Amino acid sequence: MNIEFKSFSDYTRGILYKQLVDSYSFDSKWQEYFDKDWKSYDDFFYDNLQFTNKCGFITILNGEPIGHISWDPRNMPRYVEIGHNCIVTKYKGNGYGKKQLQEAINRIAQYDGIQKIVVTTNGKLIPAQHNYERIGFKLHQRRENKDTFFSGEYIDYEIIM
């Protein structure tokens, strides 16, 4: 299996949104609650490709886009925050999310003086928690989620560089 990581600009607007919809299709509440945010996220990346191509990539397996990851570098050098990190349903559970996350960490580690990488996930997303922990993220804190009743508490992780 041949995995590649390509720029957002190699694909058309809408792919990030479609991948998020598919990735969270296990429960329709996710799309109901986050649909507008996911569309805005896709629009932001495709409206700002001169910057955003440096802050994420699309994961390709044998020529097919299977996921993507993005990050926010605005708080450098103190930290970089991982944003969306998804693998489409058909390819979950095969280690592709781990490879995608490791590639992102490798790229972020190249930033001058970066002190840590942070990420937040939800209590109901057990596979995501395991993925972050397997890569080396350490639990920083748990926080009450007052935004959504269905997704569980917020779980913040970090890797000190």
67 within 8 A of 5, measured Cβ to Cβ: no
pLDDT at 152: 87
pLDDT at 144: 93
Q: Identify the CA nearest to 97 among candidates 61, 131, 54.
A: 131
Beta strands 80-87; 64-72: pairing state: antiparallel
Tell me the per-residue pLDDT of 55-77, one tens digit each, with 9 for 90 and over.
999 999 999 999 999 999 999 99
Report the CATH number of the 3-160 domain.
3.40.630.30
Q: Write down the residue that tokens 């996710």 correspond to.
A: 30
DSSP classification of residue 81 = E
What pLDDT sits at residue 99? Answer: 96
pLDDT digits (tens, 9 = 90+) for 115-158: 999 999 999 899 899 999 999 999 999 999 988 777 889 999 99
State residue 146's pLDDT score: 87
Nearest one of 39, 34, 42, 35 to 148, comparing CA atoms: 34
The domain spans of the chain are 3-160
Say whether the peptide bond before residue 127 is cis (omega within 30 degrees of 0).
no
Q: What is the pLDDT of residues 70-110, one digit of tens each?
A: 999 999 999 999 999 999 999 999 999 999 999 999 999 99
**pLDDT single digits (tens) 21-66:** 999 999 999 999 999 999 999 999 999 998 889 999 999 999 999 9
pTM for the structure as a whole:
0.93
Q: Would you put residue 84 in left (φ > 0), alpha (ψ -120 to 50) or beta? A: beta
pLDDT at 7: 96
The predicted model gives 13-23 an average pLDDT of 98
